[in-house]
């Protein structure tokens, strides 16, 4: 009886306590995430695999989000499902998270292909293919370069990870003048797919690059670089070495004076030995040559700069080191110089880029833009002493630098157009006239400028080439001085074509290869999707890692916990406890015979 009385009292006071606390209705402050409104957009709603993945994504987001399976610009975040960017996502200003399918099958994309617009006869044409492969870890990827269907270079790379970007360098020899059609192909060794390809073309010209060597006094550095360049068939070398105030040693027919900018315009590159001996007028002429001609000036330092040359280099604060033999390595390449004495700028000029670095990352060889041209500065003072090919790439290094500088010098006429196209594809041909575009206007006032320019499209092979009937292209001036454009359709018949442009005595040609299976280097769909998502503050989640999706959406939406009041007594479970306690107390009273 006593036990029953205790139980009845306990039940009664429990009900009373619940009632009193419910009347007070206390509030507790808690930190919690708000409910997010998330829009889930399918890249291809008609794809059943994508549709099934949308359902999995909605489930992975959890109950803490409100999921709308449609585009919603007002959503807190947008989740794209698939491997490409749907048009509906372009309307969203909210952060974007992408769920990519990926898949287990190896895939390759040639995202870009870098090659020169033109090359000289017998020159080595380097092609840099930027590639990306997926799901190929541990497998070999075979990359080939072919000319006219004949493979001329081949490289095999082992993929180190499931998603990897690699730059592959291939080369071909320009064995004949005209159009050099190139095709890069890549496939996973042992794979079942056909692989991918990208096409390009280079205009091979018989003319050589014009190089002027000018030594203000005899210079070992300039002498040995000049000897290497003279042995290379790509270059036509002219030189002058000042041996005294009244005497000089010439090779070819150099200009009588280097301080005459007009006489320098015929050269693609001017190499200056002992630049510290240049006078102010010579430096001023080189500055005009850089800005008006757009050529390149290579300064082979053998001591710290003199004040006049600072006008070209853009810096007067230099550091120097000497002692043991050190290594100067080309950035992103294998060419190596050896030297015991180097100079480098304390701070690189604005816009400068490093070509080769020495110990501790010192910028020993670098380049800087000056107007339309560029200045290349070498601070490897005694690299000429280490020319043994077994230990130094002295000759190869400078041949590459001078060839790159010459190739970047603008020609009197520059043609920009696709080098490969499918039949009847629409093309835009852009023509720039160097002298008109770079002409300096005295006093800065407006001046009229009269130029004449014409363009034709001619076939280089097949019956049309024999007939010799070119097609005229209509060039229209644009808002930029010296810039003209034409819009044309590619010829119906596949073959090798040439876009020929004339302006006064200047002539230029650009290659056009028309082939039915033409393919261009294109970033993978994943790459474009990643760029868009990253730019909108989101991230890319593989389909096999959906567990990270909810957290990634909250990070992208910048969801932060906020303080919210919580009223525990407003739960219906307290009413159940109250009713059960009163009912149990009443039942025990009736059982013991109490009213």
Cβ atoms of 379 and 301 within 8 Å: the answer is yes
Cβ atoms of 539 and 95 within 8 Å: the answer is no
Instruction: Report which secondary-structure segment, H or E, holds 401.
Output: helix 394-408
Q: Give yes or no: residues 349 and 249 share one domain.
A: yes
CATH for 500: 2.60.40.10
Per-residue pLDDT at 207: 78
Q: What integer best gives the mean pLDDT of the chain? A: 83
Q: Evaluate whether residue 522 is within a structural domain.
A: no
**333 or 7: whose pLDDT is higher?**
7
Structure tokens at 509: 């040609």
Q: Give yes or no: residues 381 and 354 share one domain.
A: yes
Q: Rounded to whole angstroms, how far apart are CA atoms 9 and 3? A: 10
Please, which pLDDT band fits residue 447 given cuts at 50, 70 and 90?
low
Q: Rounded to whole angstroms, how far apart are CA atoms 457 and 149? A: 24
**168 or 327: whose pLDDT is higher?**
168
The 3-state DSSP class for residue 358 equals coil
Q: Evaluate whether residue 198 is within a structural domain.
A: yes
Per-residue pLDDT at 517: 85
Q: Rounded to whole angstroms, how far apart are CA atoms 133 and 109? A: 6
| 223-230 average pLDDT score | 94
Cβ atoms of 393 and 386 within 8 Å: the answer is no
Q: Give yes or no: residues 213 and 353 share one domain.
A: yes
Residue 1: pLDDT over 60: no
Domain count, the chain: 5
Pairing of strands 454-459, 495-503: antiparallel
186, 205, 224 — which closes off a domain? Answer: 205
Q: Would you tell me the crossing angle of helices 394-408 and 220-230 to the nearest 10 degrees?
A: 70
Q: Give yes or no: residues 51 and 17 share one domain.
A: no
Per-residue pLDDT at 30: 67
Q: Rounded to whole angstroms, how far apart are CA atoms 503 and 415? A: 12
Q: Evaluate whether residue 302 is within a structural domain.
A: yes
Closest alpha carbon to 110 in 151, 159, 157, 168:
168
Q: Evaluate whether residue 524 is within a structural domain.
A: no
Q: Evaluate whether residue 521 is within a structural domain.
A: no
pLDDT tens column, 140-162: 889 999 998 899 999 988 888 87
Per-residue pLDDT at 31: 64
205, 225, 248 — which closes off a domain? Answer: 205
Cβ atoms of 337 and 327 within 8 Å: the answer is yes
Closest alpha carbon to 393 in 210, 228, 237, 215:
228
**333 or 79: whose pLDDT is higher?**
79
Per-residue pLDDT at 524: 67
Per-residue pLDDT at 442: 46
Cβ atoms of 128 and 150 within 8 Å: the answer is no
Structure tokens at 110: 């040639």
| 16-40 average pLDDT score | 77
Q: Give yes or no: residues 149 and 176 share one domain.
A: yes
| 327-334 average pLDDT score | 74
Q: Give yes or no: residues 297 and 433 share one domain.
A: no
Closest alpha carbon to 562 in 35, 64, 32, 76:
32
The answer to which of 20-34, 226-240, 296-310, 447-461 has the lowest mean pLDDT is 20-34
Residue 454: pLDDT over 60: yes
Q: Evaluate whether residue 526 is within a structural domain.
A: no
> Measuring CA to CA, how many Å separate 11 from each of 25, 135, 354?
21, 66, 84
408, 430, 462 — which closes off a domain? Answer: 408
Q: Evaluate whether residue 445 is within a structural domain.
A: no
Q: Evaluate whether residue 444 is within a structural domain.
A: no
Q: Give yes or no: residues 431 and 496 share one domain.
A: yes
pLDDT tens column, 570-581: 788 878 887 888
Cβ atoms of 157 and 140 within 8 Å: the answer is yes
Q: Rounded to whole angstroms, how far apart are CA atoms 148 and 159? A: 29
What's this model's pTM, rounded to 2 decimal places?
Answer: 0.60
Per-residue pLDDT at 151: 93
Q: Rounded to whole angstroms, how far apart are CA atoms 176 and 170? A: 19
Q: Rounded to whole angstroms, how far apart are CA atoms 391 and 353? A: 26
**Percent over 70 (pLDDT), the chain:** 89
Q: Give yes or no: residues 235 and 350 share one domain.
A: yes
Q: Give yes or no: residues 417 and 404 share one domain.
A: no
pLDDT tens column, 501-536: 999 888 888 889 898 888 888 776 667 777 778 777
Q: Give yes or no: residues 149 and 226 share one domain.
A: no
Q: Give yes or no: residues 255 and 329 share one domain.
A: yes
CATH for 312: 3.40.50.880
pLDDT tens column, 72-106: 877 888 888 877 777 766 666 677 788 876 655 67
| 205-231 average pLDDT score | 91
Please, which pLDDT band fits residue 489 given cuts at 50, 70 and 90?
very high
Q: Give yes or no: residues 252 and 362 share one domain.
A: yes
DSSP state of 63: T
Cβ atoms of 337 and 393 within 8 Å: the answer is yes
How far is CA 476 from its chain centroid? 31
Residue 467: pLDDT over 60: no
Q: Write out the residue range of the structural domain in which residue 323 sits.
A: 209-408
Q: Rounded to whole angstroms, how far apart are CA atoms 165 and 339? A: 34
């Amino acid at each position: 009886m006593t036990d029953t009385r205790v139980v009845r009292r306990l039940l009664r006071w429990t009900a009373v306590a619940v009632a009193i606390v419910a009347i007070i209705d206390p509030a507790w402050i808690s930190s919690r995430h708000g409910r997010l409104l998330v829009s889930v957009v399918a890249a291809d709603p008609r794809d059943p695999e994508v549709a099934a993945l949308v359902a999995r994504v909605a489930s992975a987001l959890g109950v803490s989000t409100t999921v709308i399976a449609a585009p919603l610009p007002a959503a807190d975040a947008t989740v794209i499902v698939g491997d490409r960017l749907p048009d509906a996502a372009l309307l969203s200003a909210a952060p974007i998270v992408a769920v990519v399918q990926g898949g287990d099958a190896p895939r390759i994309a040639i995202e870009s292909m870098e090659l020169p617009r033109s090359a000289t006869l017998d020159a080595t044409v380097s092609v840099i293919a930027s590639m990306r492969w997926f799901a190929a870890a541990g497998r070999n990827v075979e990359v080939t370069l072919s000319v006219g269907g004949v493979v001329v270079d081949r490289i095999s790379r082992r993929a180190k990870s499931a998603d990897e970007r690699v730059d592959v360098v291939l080369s071909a020899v320009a064995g004949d003048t005209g159009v050099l059609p190139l095709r890069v192909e890549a496939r996973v060794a042992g794979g079942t797919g056909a692989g991918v390809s990208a096409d390009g073309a280079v205009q091979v010209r018989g003319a050589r690059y014009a190089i002027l060597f000018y030594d203000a006094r005899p210079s070992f550095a300039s002498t040995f670089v000049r000897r290497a360049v003279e042995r290379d068939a790509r270059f036509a070398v002219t030189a002058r070495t000042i041996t005294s105030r009244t005497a000089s040693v010439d090779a070819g027919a150099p200009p009588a004076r280097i301080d005459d900018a007009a006489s320098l315009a015929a050269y693609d590159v001017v190499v200056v030995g002992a630049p510290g001996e240049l006078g102010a007028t010579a430096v001023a002429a080189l500055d005009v040559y850089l800005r008006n001609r757009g050529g390149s000036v290579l300064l082979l330092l053998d001591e710290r700069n003199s004040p006049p040359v600072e006008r070209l280099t853009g810096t007067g604060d230099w550091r120097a080191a000497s002692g043991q033999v050190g290594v100067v390595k080309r950035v992103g390449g294998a060419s190596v110089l050896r030297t015991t004495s180097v100079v480098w700028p304390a701070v690189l000029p604005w816009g400068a880029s490093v070509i080769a670095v020495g110990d501790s990352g010192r910028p020993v060889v670098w380049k800087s833009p000056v107007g339309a041209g560029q200045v290349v500065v070498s601070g490897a003072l005694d690299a000429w002493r280490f020319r043994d090919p077994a230990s130094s790439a002295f000759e190869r290094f400078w041949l590459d630098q001078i060839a790159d500088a010459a190739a970047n010098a603008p020609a009197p006429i520059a043609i920009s157009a696709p080098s490969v196209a499918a039949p009847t594809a629409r093309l835009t041909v852009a023509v720039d006239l160097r002298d008109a575009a770079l002409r300096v206007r005295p006093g800065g006032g407006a001046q009229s400028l009269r130029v004449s320019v014409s363009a034709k499209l001619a076939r280089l092979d097949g019956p049309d080439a024999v007939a010799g009937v070119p097609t005229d292209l209509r060039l229209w001036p644009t808002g930029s001085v010296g810039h003209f454009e034409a819009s044309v359709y590619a010829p119906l018949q596949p073959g090798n074509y040439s876009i020929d442009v004339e302006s006064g005595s200047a002539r230029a040609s650009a290659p056009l290869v028309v082939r039915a299976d033409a393919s261009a280097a294109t970033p993978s769909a994943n790459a474009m999707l990643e760029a868009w998502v990253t730019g909108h503050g989101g991230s890319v989640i593989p389909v096999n890692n959906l567990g990270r999706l909810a957290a990634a959406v909250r990070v992208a939406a910048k969801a932060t916990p906020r303080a919210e009041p919580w009223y525990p007594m407003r739960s219906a479970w307290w009413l159940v406890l109250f009713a059960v306690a009163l009912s149990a107390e009443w039942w025990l009273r009736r059982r013991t015979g109490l009213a």
